[in-house]
């Protein structure tokens, strides 16, 4: 079979058998067809999978490295290679001769430093939110939920009124990879959401609504009023500025803050991994260098000032 046909077969298996999201499948399609376009000049017109050799891989990686000029260059290359490795594993599973997937090594990625807020900074941010308006009550509930539950912004905006049990202070969200995970929130966060809902005079399902008077009804589901990720980002940045916080603060910063607060107060890494919905523990480990209490103990013991 021609390699383009096999790519489509692989994408179908990613969606159906592995249950990946439409966005993931679209990304894989883009990455693999970029591989196909780049390497087509080095192989025959028919382009069969056995023509993918270590030399073809070397040329492909070189072209990626020279052509990809985005800020996330190394990460972008890694995404392309992850898709390629998945495709080669699929071929191997079907008994189709091609390049050994283990030969596709991912580049070393230097992760950006984690930005998070300390608990007192979160308190300062919340203190700037007025509670005498519906918008203020909404914004306070949003920030309390982001910090208390460690939600991704995509998870937050998808919440409906009936998604969240305010009495039990827990609910379930569907995160990356269509995986469900439990969310637990504080009494303060639950109370903020309850206060916001008490001043709502609509029957729309979305938990958080855009209060702009310019919103037009374009469907019957009520989703035309649902806040967008960009809206949540603007809300968080607005109150961070009012609180005098000079760090770059985004909704994801509050998720980072949730994780670091847990670890600083003694939570184990595996539990934090589960609460964040990380599939790989290495993703959660980005927080340990700023939360390891042993490092402070070493510093106090061996480098404390003397009187």
Determine the Cα–Cα distance for residues 58 and 71; give it in Å rounded to an integer: 22
Q: Would you call 48 a catalytic residue per the annotation?
A: no
Q: Would you call 248 a catalytic residue per the annotation?
A: no
Q: Would you call 179 a catalytic residue per the annotation?
A: no
Tell me the β-bridge partners of 165: 170
Determine the Cα–Cα distance for residues 230 and 234; give it in Å rounded to an integer: 6
Instruction: Choose, from 29, 94, 238, 252, the residue flagged as catalytic.
Output: 252
Determine the Cα–Cα distance for residues 82 and 136; give it in Å rounded to an integer: 43
Determine the Cα–Cα distance for residues 245 and 143; give it in Å rounded to an integer: 15
Instruction: Choose, from 152, 169, 225, 256, the residue flagged as catalytic.
Output: 152
Q: Could you identify the residue written with the tokens 């929130």?
A: 185
Determine the Cα–Cα distance for residues 192 and 143; give it in Å rounded to an integer: 10
Instruction: Choose, from 176, 181, 237, 238, the residue flagged as catalytic.
Output: 176
End-to-end CA distance of the chain: 78
State whether residue 174 is helix, strand or coil.
strand
Q: Would you call 287 a catalytic residue per the annotation?
A: yes
Cα 206-279-13 angle, rounded to 5 deg: 85
Instruction: Choose, from 138, 225, 255, 256, the residue flagged as catalytic.
Output: 255
Determine the Cα–Cα distance for residues 117 and 14; give it in Å rounded to an integer: 37
Q: Would you call 252 a catalytic residue per the annotation?
A: yes
Q: Would you call 152 a catalytic residue per the annotation?
A: yes
Helices (H), 94-163: 119-127, 134-149, 153-157
State whether residue 247 is helix, strand or coil.
coil
Determine the Cα–Cα distance for residues 98 and 81; give it in Å rounded to an integer: 15
Determine the Cα–Cα distance for residues 117 and 94; give it in Å rounded to an integer: 49
State whether residue 164 is helix, strand or coil.
strand
Instruction: Enumerate the active-site residues.
Output: 152, 176, 252, 255, 278, 287
């Amino acid at each position: 079979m021609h390699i383009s046909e096999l790519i489509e077969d692989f994408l179908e298996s990613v969606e159906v058998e592995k249950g990946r999201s439409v966005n993931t499948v679209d990304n894989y399609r883009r990455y693999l067809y970029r591989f196909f376009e780049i390497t087509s000049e080095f192989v025959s017109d028919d382009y069969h999978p056995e023509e993918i050799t270590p030399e073809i891989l070397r040329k492909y990686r070189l072209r990626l490295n020279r052509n990809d000029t985005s800020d996330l260059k190394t990460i972008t290359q890694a995404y392309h290679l992850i898709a390629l490795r998945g495709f080669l594993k699929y071929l191997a599973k079907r008994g189709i001769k091609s390049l050994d997937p283990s030969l596709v090594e991912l580049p070393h990625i230097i992760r950006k430093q984690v930005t998070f807020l300390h608990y007192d900074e979160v308190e300062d941010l919340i203190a700037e939110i007025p509670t005498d308006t519906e918008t203020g009550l909404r914004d306070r509930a949003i920030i309390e939920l982001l910090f208390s539950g460690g939600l991704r912004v995509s998870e937050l905006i998808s919440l409906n009124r009936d998604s969240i049990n305010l009495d039990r202070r827990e609910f379930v969200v569907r995160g990356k990879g269509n995986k469900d995970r439990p969310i637990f929130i504080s009494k303060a966060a639950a109370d903020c959401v309850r206060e916001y809902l008490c001043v709502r005079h609509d029957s729309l399902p979305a938990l958080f609504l855009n209060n702009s008077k310019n919103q037009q009804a374009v469907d019957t589901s009520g989703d035309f009023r649902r806040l967008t990720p960009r809206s949540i980002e603007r809300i968080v940045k607005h109150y961070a500025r009012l609180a005098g916080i000079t760090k770059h603060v985004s909704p994801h910063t509050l998720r980072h803050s949730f994780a670091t607060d847990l670890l600083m107060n003694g939570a184990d890494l595996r539990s934090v991994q589960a609460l964040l919905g990380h599939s790989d523990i290495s993703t959660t480990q980005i927080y340990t260098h700023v939360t390891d209490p042993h490092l402070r103990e070493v510093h106090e013991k061996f480098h404390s000032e003397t009187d």
